[in-house]
A and B are shown apart, each in its own frame.
Chain A
Amino acid sequence: MNYILLFFILLPVLGFLISLLVPKEKESLLSGIAFSTAGLQFNGFVIFFLYWMYHQHPALNLNSITLFESREYVFYLDFYFDKISAVYLFVGAFLTFLVTIYSRYYLHRESGYKRFFNTVLFFYSGYNIAVLSGNFETLFIGWEVLGISSFLLIAFYRDRYLPVKNAIKVFSVYRIGDVGMILAMWASHHLWHENITFMKLNNFELVHEHLASHSLTGVFISVMILITAATKSAQLPFSSWLPRAMEGPTPSSAIFYGSLSVHLGVFLMMRTFPFWNHQLSVRILIALMGLSTSLIASVIGRVQSSVKSKIAYASIAQIGLIFIEIAMGFENLALLHFAGNAFLRTYQLLVSPSVVSYLIREQFYHYVPRQHTIEDSFPKKIEYTIYLLSIKEWNLDSVMNYLIWKPLKNIGRKLNFLTISRLVSIFIPAYLLGLFILFKSDTIRPEIAEYLPYPFSLIGLVMVLKSFSERKRPRLSWLLIIMNHLWVVLAISFNEHFQPEEAAFYLSGVLVSGVIGYVCITKLKSKEKEYSLNQFYGHSYEHPGLALVFLMACLGLMAFPITPTFIGEDLIFSHIHENQLVLAFFTALSFVVDGISVIRIYARLFLGPHVKTYHEIPYKSA
């Protein structure tokens, strides 16, 4: 029975791959592939479900593929199926099936018809990998796929400014979640000394035994998981991304940001429930976060005057409640709540354009000038204050800006003295020096060697921060990211066990995609006068092929699961010691900013309003 799980993983992936091959004029074939994939998945699931129930619904675990193995490190994919996966699989297949049929007609003649269905299937593949994952590594693959496909769906109207800007914003928030995930994985490696499966987490004695001696590590892992879940499920303080994700065609907003994507944080919490179940402080923290989110999101929702943002905040508020339910251990209730909320919001978003004719007619007959709301009974000053705060979304958006992005950018700006020539003249010798030290490391006193990873990883972080804040030279920005990877490897190499083969494994993806990307940018530069990182240039209008190749290179460079670098990243972390929290943090931060910086280069060069004005160009405010 275990192997049937592979069907649910491979079918969407297969659908996605086939859809890539279909020429873009074949509208009905494209959408046909999409809805048959989801339909087959749905029917397959129903049959499987009955069969599974008939066999006393055991939890299934499939340790399928080992992707990398070295002396003390194994990277394997693992799949797991239980009640939670069942509900998520069901809701996902049901909604994707209906929404793909819906979109088949809805998107007719839209210029990105193929792009849309490709991305939807890609997303759906990631979703299924995530909800069927049996360990953190597998979950992380799904997670990364969701992140990038969300970016592509939000930026679906890539010739306009706001979708692209918001897509980057959402992607950045997701990346913050990724830090949590990476650090949680790192800490759990050290806790379990293996890639723990979710199956094993259900073993109370095992978990209890490990946590008893490492209670702080336990709390750390739980908090990291919570941060990851909070970003995905738009809980405080990350909530403001969700309404901003509503930039794509309505059905994609409905299914992904109304239902599936936004409930994955909930999934993560339920999946790891056995782990933090006995950490009271964590449970209280989860409940508090859920409570504050549901309160604040619901008042923000009450003042929203656009239909999609209203639904988004209403949904966030309900997810806050679901977090409370999970914290209290009401798993079944939470699952029920998830499914209901997902269906409700999808439907609400899909019919949202009808709200005009419906409410206007309703008002025509039943208009009451002013309805009394609960807020009217507050003292005036309190009422106005809360209203005003809610209109400003409790400054959630600007707080994120001020706390996270501004400081990162400011550090980067301080590095403006770095030009290509200075980079070459300072950091290449420095790197060579580093390598030299590495080869002579046995001659260095161990107490010094112990601290060497820190300066190197800090230099790596500096590289990527500079890359992130670079405003003019795309190639410089790109090179800095590659260099960051090199510095990271150098830094980790001082941790004794790291083998050269492992480094090569890690760097292979980086270098290949780095070179491809560099060539793409150079090619673009030779063709276009207008080119920098200071604004969006929208060059995909004239160079869609180049844009696609460059996107692939970007994915490779940000350690997306299409190159060995993805596994290498995990590998690197396995070599960061338990007591090197700072090193882990630097490295994680590097990865995160890497991803954002790479996506930013892609977006600035290829997305947004086209810089050439010989055709219709949208307003920036559109």
Chain B
Amino acid sequence: MKSSNLVFHEQDVLHNLKHYLPAQAPLKDFIHHNTLHAFQDMKFDKAIHTASEIFGYKVCLSLFEYRDLFRKGQIREDVLENVLKHKKPGKQLAVWRENLLYKEYNIEKSARIGQLRSIWKKDYYIDLDLIVHPLLYRIICSYLDQGISIWKFPVLNQGFLSSIREMERNTFASFFKTQRARGLLFNGQCELKELLHILVGDEKLYSQYLFDQQFTHPGWSGMVSFLEDSPDSLIDKKSISLKELITFELLLEIDAMDSKFGQTWAPLCTRVGKITGLFEKVMETEHTEVLSLWQEAYEWSYYDQVLAGVKKSQSLKKENGNAEVPSFQALLCIDDRECSLRRYLEKNDPKCQTFGTPGFFGVEFYYKPEHGNSVTKQCPAPVTPGYLIKEVGTKKKNEKEVHFSKHPDTLFRGLLISQTLGFWSALKLAISIFRPSISPATSSSFRHMDEFSRLTIENESPEDIENGLQVGFTIEEMTLRVEGLLRSIGLIHHFAPVIYVVAHGSTSVNNTHYAGYDCGACSGRPGSVNARVISYMANHPKVRENLRHKGIIIPEETQFAGCLHDTTRDDITFYDEKNLSPQNSAMHREHKMTFQKALDFNARERSRRFEAIDTSLPPEEIHEKVRRRSVSLFEPRPELNHATNALCFVGRRNLTNNLFLDRRSFLNSYDYQIDPEGKYLTNILNAVAPVCGGINLEYYFSRVDNHKLGAGTKLAHNVMGLFGVANGIDGDLRPGLPSQMVEVHDPIRLMVIVEHYPEVVLETIQRNPATFQWFMNDWIHLTVVHPETTGFHVFRNGIFHIYEPLLSQVNVISDISDLLVTNQENFPVYLIQ
């Protein structure tokens, strides 16, 4: 990292660059991750301000915004005092209070990145980026293109640069305007050192120059860097490396310089004065410290009321473990969007029980739809499954849409089409505006798997292997997974007759970020296959038999049933209903009504944030509008996805079931009593940290700097090569989230609240260094609820500290219906009684 003063080591610099560049996958594999992952080895506060100093990002709200929140009461005074008391005790307190509230700071931001290369413009009067970028982007995009262009990049040799070379060799035109760059492409190895020697001249500056250069277009560089490491994420595979991109860019820069100055210009180093190394130590300033204090006060203003609510809720209800058999049980995804649905299910049928768990339900595999050419991963991104599930016996066909085919864009067919289909387009446009309906353009979660297909879940023989993947699971493998799932959520007795496994996905149209709306635990796909797979496993008599030996006795009449909840439309599909026994079938019909009603109310609760829908209408009517919204071309917010997420509960349902959390919490069911050593907790937290923490931080950073860390407004986005979006036709790729997804999000970090003994949790999180880093460096807050004392223990700097909520009263409400129509803003925590 401190390579700026040393000699240039190509490998190190490239490695370093890849580390800092955005690591976002192509659109189809969009997965949330911490935008500033490169700084995760530092404490959060230090990390973000370091990143800000180096790269010029805005990393938290501005002083003005914090003070405004304070004025509005969204940052509470008592919390602020409490924060100051801990961080700035004694005499300093008054000074710092003054600083926070009134002192003026120079809030102009300067970035270290870009300083060196700015000399081109200042001293050479040349805007290299303006000359080089448009062509560079277009060539990279055409090379990587996945299917937009009709005439594809004609040469695909062993890589990007050799394709360029091959093309340059056989053409009357040229990529270059001058001879030297052309010669450099052909001769020699095109070592970066050699090219940098011409441009920069001083080896000490090479690394900084490359950082400057690549961070003028972090989107493209990040994509190339990602594809270098995971070429499989493109269907039409292309080989490219960051080094090739840099080489080509350097050549184009030399070409641009030569074309303006001839070959006689002096390299950049001759004009360099004093310059700060990119990674020199960043000093904390009073201003950044003030911001950190504000951020903490902001976050705790929310956490404090949540903890107060939990405390209140626990004091209400002491008896749990009701002996009665529940009417049905439902396993839903940990996802914050399922938080309210669970509340409504429990409200409509007080005898039912709901659970939360990561939506791949503990079964990891690749899924291959019938007639599919490739496979999709159905588990969290870091996991590499060894199994394959195939879909067979489908009935549906894919509909086609001529507007997306290449025909209208070719000359002669275009002639015919524009005179015929053109008028059809006018009609379609009118229909899609006045009567939006599902069309081939829609990305629908229900298309992921045919409802009536069969899946190859059970492994027939060990030799049944496709592309190195075992087809299906053996009985032992099934047992292991079912047991793991049930124990991790604490469901090992009191089984209801029907247990629904509810996966989720989403439906949207005109949405390039559709993968980000599906299940994060299924690598950005709907979880429908997982729900059916785990249900099949849990229903398997031999698996039940094995489970019995392990002490989990599932009554014979109990049946698991997979379903898919569409979080955008609030629709649900039940799979394999015909397999239900007659008694269960009868009950199922009633439960279906419960689900239906809960979904209507869920849609209503969501609608309060939608400007176009009147929340005071009857729920069924609102639900219809919500459905329509999901297929409307003109609706940039089909749903609000994870916006406002702030919490993650890991514990029994009675921690939260009396609380109105306003869909802001991930909920993972967990019973500490059956996991005294925290074995299952380890697994849960290993998933919660990167998945929920990743979602939370991506929203955080996209919200605080939507220009540099987010994707900006999506209204102007142009799809590049099917793998990314850019503004206009000459822009850089825009990783991160569009403003429409994050505008209502409050940028606060995730608070994970675990129910267990502090010492067990401490030991648990230390088992995996990667997970521990999230907590230790404050990228996620952690609070433990002591199961016996019900006291709170907050994790700070490696130690648990007791925390007593400042708020003694929590708002109480009997029915949230009236509340919902009041406003669109975030609600405080309510106790539902």
Question: Chain A residues in contact with chain B, CB under 8 A?
Answer: 27, 94, 98, 101-110, 156-157, 160, 162-163, 166, 243-244, 246-251, 294-295, 298-299, 301-314, 317-318, 321, 336-337, 339-344, 346-348, 350-367, 369-371, 373, 375-376, 380-381, 383-385, 387-392, 612-622
Alpha-carbon distance between A103 and B716 when the two chains are bound, in angstroms: 12
Q: Do A391 and B634 touch (CB < 8 A)?
A: no
Q: Are B409 and A301 in contact (CB under 8 A)?
A: yes
Smallest CB–CB gap between B190 and chain A, Å?
19
Query: With a CB–CB cut-off of 8 A, which chain B residues contact A360?
Result: 27-28, 146, 235, 722
9 residue pairs of the A-B complex, CB under 8 angstroms, read A157-B716, A249-B713, A340-B418, A347-B426, A354-B404, A355-B404, A370-B152, A373-B152, A622-B712
Shortest CB distance A469–B (Å):
13
Extra A-B contacts (11), CB below 8 Å, given A303-B151, A346-B425, A388-B175: A162-B727, A250-B717, A307-B718, A336-B419, A343-B425, A346-B429, A357-B514, A360-B722, A363-B236, A614-B62, A622-B712
Contact yes or no, A367 B170, CB < 8 A:
no
Binds A, one of B106-114, B673-681, B777-785: B106-114
B139 within 8 A of A: yes
- A351-B633, A381-B171 known; A305 and B720 CB under 8 Å? yes
Centre residue among A306, A317, A343, A354 by max chain B CB count within 10 A? A306
Contact B373 A367 (CB under 8 A): yes
User: Which B residue sits closest to A156, measured CB to CB?
Assistant: B716
Contact partner of A365 among B373, B441, B731, CB < 8 A? B373
Binds A, one of B41-49, B318-326, B352-360, B701-709: B701-709
Instruction: Name the residue in B141, B153, B719, B721 with the highest tally of chain A Cβ atoms < 10 Å from its Cβ.
Output: B719
The answer on a CB contact under 8 Å between B216 and A620 is yes
Q: How long is the Cα–Cα vector from A592 to B132 in the complex, in angstroms?
A: 29
CB distance from A59 to the nearest CB of B (A): 25
Chain B residues, CB < 8 A from A391: 135, 138-139, 142
Give per-residue flags for B700-742: 1 if the beta carbon is below 8 A from chain A beta carbons, else 0: 0000111110001111111111100011111110100000100
Q: Is B147 an interface residue (CB 8 A)?
A: yes
Residue of A nearest to B218 (CB): A619
Q: Complex Cα distance A343/B170, Å?
A: 41
**Interface pair A294/B411, CB less than 8 Å apart:** yes
Query: With A162-B727, A307-B718 in contact, is A343–B423 under 8 Å at CB?
Result: yes
- Does B433 interact with chain A (Cβ within 8 Å)? yes
B716 touches A249 (CB 8 A): yes
Q: Is the CB of A364 within 8 A of B727?
A: no
Contact B732 A619 (CB under 8 A): yes
Least CB distance from B819 to A in Å reads: 23
On whether A387 and B509 interact (CB within 8 A), knowing A244-B730, A350-B633, the answer reads no
Distance between Cα atoms of A362 and B372 in the complex (Å): 9
Distance in angstroms between the alpha carbons of A303 and B712 in the assembled complex:
27
Chain B residues with CB under 8 Å of A373's CB are: 150-152
Are A246 and B447 also in contact (CB < 8 A) when A353-B511, A359-B404, A363-B236 are? no
Q: Chain B 370-387, CB within 8 Å of chain A: the 1/0 string?
A: 011110100000000000
The prevalent SS among residues of B at the interface is loop
Residues of A within 8 A of B71 (CB): none
B410 interfacial by beta-carbon distance below 8 Å:
yes
CB-CB nearest in chain A for B153: A387
Judged by a CB distance under 8 angstroms, whether B398 is at the interface is yes
Which residue on B lies nearest to A102, using beta carbons?
Answer: B634
Is A157 in contact with B236, judged by CB distance below 8 angstroms?
no
Contact A337 B419 (CB under 8 A): yes
CB distance from B507 to the nearest CB of A (A): 10
Q: Give the distance to chain B from A527, nearest Cβ to Cβ, in Å.
A: 16
Checking A294, A305, A318, A367 against B142 with a beta-carbon cut-off of 8 angstroms, the contacting residue is A305
B826 surroundings in chain A (CB, below 8 A):
none
Please list the 10 inter-chain residue pairs (A to B) with the smallest Cβ-Cβ separation, ordered nearest first. A340-B422, A357-B443, A347-B425, A314-B409, A621-B732, A354-B441, A305-B145, A343-B426, A249-B715, A298-B411
Contacts of B62 in A (CB 8 A): 614-615
Find the B residue at minimum CB distance from A163: B728
Q: Which of B325-380 contact A (CB under 8 A)?
A: 369, 371-374, 376
Residue from B147, B372, B732 having most chain A Cβ neighbours under 10 A: B147
Interface residues of B in 610-636 (CB under 8 A from A): 611-612, 632-636
Q: Which of B163-199 contact A (CB under 8 A)?
A: 167, 170-175
User: Among the interface residues A318, A342, A344, A384, which one has the most CB atoms of the partner chain B within 10 A?
Assistant: A344
The yes or no answer to B149 lying at the interface (CB within 8 A) is yes
* CB-based contact B732/A317 at 8 Å: no
Assess A166 versus B728: contact at CB under 8 Å? Given A102-B633, A358-B404, A361-B398: yes
Contact: B429 with A98, CB < 8 Å?
A: yes
Task: For A389, give its contact among B173, B428, B727 (CB under 8 Å).
Answer: B173
Chain B residue numbers with a CB within 8 Å of A317 are 411, 414
CB distance from A236 to the nearest CB of B (A): 15
What is the CA–CA distance of A294 and B740 in the complex, to the nearest angstrom?
Answer: 38
With A and B bound together, what is the CA distance between A618 and B726 in angstroms? Answer: 13
* A359 and B108 contacting across the interface, CB-CB below 8 Å: no
Instruction: Judge whether B423 and A163 touch: CB under 8 Å.
Output: no
A110 contacts B715, C-beta separation under 8 Å: yes
Bound-state Cα–Cα, A160 to B717, Å: 13
A335 to chain B, nearest CB (A): 11
- Among A313, A318, A346: residue with most chain B CB under 10 A: A318
CB contacts (< 8 Å) of A390 on chain B: these are: 151
By the criterion CB–CB under 8 Å, are B425 and A388 in contact?
Answer: no
Contacts of A618 on B, CB cut-off 8 Å?
Answer: 707-708, 712
**Is B787 engaged at the interface, CB distance under 8 Å to the other chain?**
no
Minimum C-beta distance from A334 to chain B (A): 11
With A373-B150, A373-B152, A613-B108 already in contact, the answer to whether A306 and B729 are too (CB < 8 A) is: yes
Q: Which residue of B is nearest A253, CB measured?
A: B716
On chain B, the residues within 8 Å of A108 by CB distance are 611-612, 636-637
With both beta carbons as reference points, the residue of chain A lying nearest to B57 in the complex is identified as: A616
Pair B743/A385 contact, Cβ less than 8 Å:
no
Contacts of B705 in A (CB 8 A): 616
Contact A363 B403 (CB under 8 A): no
Q: Is there contact, CB below 8 Å, between B150 and A302?
A: yes
**B441 and A358 within 8 A (CB):** yes
Please name all residues of chain A whose beta carbon is closer than 8 Å to the beta carbon of B429 when the two chains form the complex.
98, 343, 346-347, 350
Q: Which residues of B lie under 8 Å from residue A612 when comparing CB positions?
A: 108
Closest chain-A Cβ to B696's Cβ sits at a distance in Å of 20
Whether B423 and A247, one on each chain, are in contact in the complex, defined by CB atoms closer than 8 angstroms, is no
**Known: A363-B373, A619-B707. Is A355-B148 also a contact (CB below 8 A)?**
yes
Given contacts A101-B433, A385-B172, contact A302 B151 (CB under 8 A): yes
- CB A503 to nearest CB in B, in angstroms, measures 41
Shortest Cβ gap from B52 to chain A (Å):
11
A94 B426 Cβ-Cβ under 8 A? yes
User: Given contacts A353-B717, A614-B109, A616-B705, are A302 and B149 in contact (CB under 8 A)?
Assistant: yes
Contact yes or no, B713 A354, CB < 8 A: no
Q: Is there contact, CB below 8 Å, between A358 and B401?
A: yes
| Contact, CB under 8 Å: B418 / A337 | yes
Contact with A along B105-136 (1 / 0, CB 8 A): 00111100000000000000000010001010
Contact check, B58 vs A616: say whether CB atoms are below 8 A apart.
yes
Query: Which residues of chain A are within 8 angstroms of B806 by Cβ–Cβ distance?
Result: none
Q: Is the CB of A367 within 8 A of B425?
A: no
Interface status of B572 (Cβ within 8 A of chain A): no
Residue pair A384, B718 in contact (C-beta under 8 Å) = no
Name which residue of chain A comes closest to B137, CB basis: A621
Nearest neighbor of B143 in chain A, beta-carbon distance: A305
Q: Which of B108, B175, B217, B743 is in CB contact (< 8 Å) with A614?
A: B108
Task: Please state if B422 and A342 are interface contacts (CB–CB under 8 Å).
Answer: yes
B555 within 8 A of A: no
Please name the residue on chain A nearest to B429 by beta carbon.
Answer: A347
B-chain residues with CB within 8 Å of residue A298 when the two chains form the complex: 410-411, 414
**B512, A106: Cβ atoms under 8 Å?**
no
Tell me whether B373 and A364 are in contact (CB under 8 A).
Answer: yes
Q: How far is the CA of A415 from the CA of B371 in the complex (A)?
A: 69
A341, A353, A385 interface centre (most CB from chain B within 10 Å):
A353
Residue B56, interface by CB 8 Å: yes
Q: Is residue B408 within 8 Å, beta carbon to beta carbon, of the partner chain? A: yes
